[in-house]
Amino acid sequence: MRLVVTGKAGQVATALAERGRAAGIAVIAVGRPEFDLSQAEDAETVLSQAKPDVVVSAAAYTAVDRAETDADAAWAINATAPGHLAAAAARLGVPIVHLSTDYVFEGSKPTPYVETDATGPLGVYGASKLGGEQAVARATDDYAILRTAWVYSPFGNNFLKTMLRLGADRPELRVVDDQVGNPTSALDIADAVIGVARNLMARPDEASLRGIFHMTGSGEGSWADFACEIFARSAELGGPSPRVTRIATADYPTPARRPANSRMSSALLAKVHGIVMPDWKRSTADTVKRLVAGS
């Protein structure tokens, strides 16, 4: 299988490259300078040269707060570009796997979100990602949209790495405790994307494999819970272990509003694709070990 993924330096693209090597899968990452998502009209040329079996649309404008004042760029990358990619994939006769986000929901539901729940993004980032979902669905019938959340990994910039970096210099960290979600390893995302891609290729006419699926780590917690778990595992390895003080969202104002409830149920992914996402605490421990112990 040959996967072509957008976003050369992104967490998911990097994780896919690692998992692909282990599984004997060719993973070709495309991005700047040869492919600029903000001007993705040439997507078909780039994809046809890369000869994908499946296209993975992983790159995104992820600066949630900056998007509030940079809406044009966010919409170009998160909404317009995925539509071009999906249309190009359709013309090439290959499926597309598109990654989306919990931010398409407004976060007031008391239980985990399922795929049929109404969307209602709170800001530009979430609205642009929802626009990307809609653009993909308009451009092709051969797609799987995978909504994920709270992504972390040994690569790039993410909450887990930030906690370890800050924790190395500070005795105490104040972390939001009234936003809850499902921390999700990019390496687990990569495994799931490969599984979904295989299913789409193997059963090209099976409509149930197409559509929207939630794909997050099993289990849930607040950002403060996540931080505590990171430092508990770090302490076991002799790494940073500052005290975590739990605070409210109101104590840490940001330009963009965040969903209070980012939890999503991945039951449909398990039922239809046979993919069960690992427990977030186990995957967190694995990532902390790589970063702290270097293994």
**Set 103, 113, 125, 152: catalytic member:** 125
Is-contact 130 197, C-beta < 8 A? no
Q: What are the helix (H) ranges across 172-257?
A: 186-202, 223-236
Which positions ≥6 away from 159 have C-beta within 8 Å?
Answer: 150, 152, 183, 223, 226, 227
Is-contact 110 157, C-beta < 8 A? no
Closest CA to 106 of 281, 228, 256: 256
* Catalytic (active site) residue 143: no
Here the tokens at position 210 are 């197409």
∠ CA 74-269-195, nearest 5°, is 85
Here the tokens at position 131 are 């626009």
If you search the block for the tokens 């006419």, which residue do you land on? Answer: 205
Give CA–CA dist 144/133, Å, rounded. 10
Widest Cα–Cα separation across the chain:
56
Is-contact 46 125, C-beta < 8 A? no
Residues identified as active-site: 125
